[in-house]
Chains A and B, each alone.
Chain A
Amino acid sequence: SQQGEEDPQALSIQEGENATMNCSYKTSINNLQWYRQNSGRGLVHLILIRSNEREKHSGRLRVTLDTSKKSSSLLITASRAADTASYFCATDLPGDAGGTSYGKLTFGQGTILTVHP
């Protein structure tokens, strides 16, 4: 079963606008990762946030993590037509030893983002 649930399932915006996608999960995690997938292609890793982090930035991406609410959000600022893709959150469970993870990612169903030029 899918641990992560993304919201919304689809998002349509104009170029230059910001896009926010949310992810909720059910169990304790070691880290949460966001991936992008262009139609029919493989996944591209965007950003990883660890369970002891609250916010992380990478270029136009901002990810937040609230472990008390078991939720994360991905913000893409100043969107471009090239950002059109499906975005997935994936959770990585804690491993047996401190600070490690199993590496077995559990993905949500994804948010389909369409950015109109």
Chain B
Amino acid sequence: DTGVSQDPRHKITKRGQNVTFRCDPISEHNRLYWYRQTLGQGPEFLTYFQNEAQLEKSRLLSDRFSAERPKGSFSTLEIQRTEQGDSAMYLCASSLAYGLGRETQYFGPGTRLLVL
């Protein structure tokens, strides 16, 4: 257990439905990252926050995806109008602010999404 939790762990939904995932980072970490991992591949960066500010979004993050981190604590990732291609493991990670000795990212267990 890294101290990063994600909820739910599994989600099955029908195409066209909206889903929301939650990530609770390690409490003193001010950086939070979202990655997506499909079967047989490494994780791909989606977006990250420093405190409540969303600093960068990947081109992978279409308009149907939105992420928030209110008050710089937990974060949510919402996918609207899900498509079968959204089926993947969604991973959250957190770290201290960037800088020497602070680069290690601690990953949560992931939320596995299946879109039928």
* A residues adjacent to B (C-beta < 8 A): 2, 4, 30-31, 33, 35, 40-45, 48, 88, 90, 92, 95, 99-110
Q: Which residues of B contact A105 (CB under 8 A)?
A: 33, 35, 43, 45, 105
Q: Are B42 and A42 in contact (CB under 8 A)?
A: no
Q: Are A99 and B2 in contact (CB under 8 A)?
A: no
Digit string of B37-54 for contact with A (CB within 8 Å is 1, else 0)? 000111111001000000
Selected A-B contacts with CB under 8 Å, 22 pairs: A33-B103, A33-B105, A35-B107, A40-B89, A41-B109, A42-B91, A43-B43, A43-B91, A43-B107, A45-B105, A45-B106, A48-B104, A88-B42, A88-B43, A90-B42, A100-B98, A104-B33, A104-B45, A104-B48, A104-B56, A105-B45, A108-B42
Across chains A and B, the number of contacting residue pairs, with CB separation under 8 Å, is 74
* B residues adjacent to A (C-beta < 8 A): 2, 4, 31, 33, 35, 40-45, 48, 56, 89, 91, 93, 95, 98-100, 103-110, 112
Q: Are A103 and B42 in contact (CB under 8 A)?
A: no
Q: From DSSP, what is the main secondary structure of chain A's interface residues?
A: loop
Q: Are A4 and B103 in contact (CB under 8 A)?
A: no
